[in-house]
Amino acid sequence: MIITTTWYLVLAAALFSIGVSGVLIRRNALVMFMSIELMLNSVNLTFVAVSKDLGLVEGQVAALFVMVVAAAEVTVGLAIIVAVFRRKASANIDELAELKG
């Protein structure tokens, strides 16, 4: 069997769904964050797979940018979680409902 691009895309979709389920299921803020990272990774995989398929290099450039932004986001996000934890001593995301309307 030849590995076509479709295989990679299916794998990426599967990883993405797992990531979504992680975001919805877990209560720990850190694990939620990690699930988001997984989603970003799956998107990166899609980019690179399609870039190989089309013969362009822009897909890989896009993947690089996603990585950069993800890194920045992780930094700031974790800093926020730490700051919140300092106040509430809990990483349970259900307790952070102060924006309730």
DSSP state of 26: -
Chain residues in the site for another protein (CB under 8 A): 1, 3, 7-8, 11, 14-15, 18-28, 30-35, 37-38, 41, 44-45, 48-49, 51-52, 55-58, 60-61, 63-65, 67-76, 78-83, 85-86, 91-94, 96-101
In the complex, minimum distance from the CB of residue 55 to another protein, in angstroms, rounded to a whole number = 7
In the complex, minimum distance from the CB of residue 11 to another protein, in angstroms, rounded to a whole number = 5
- 19-44 core/surface letters (b: 16 or more CB in 10 A; e: else): beebbeeeeebeebbbbbbbbbbbbb
DSSP state of 90: -
In the complex, minimum distance from the CB of residue 69 to another protein, in angstroms, rounded to a whole number = 7
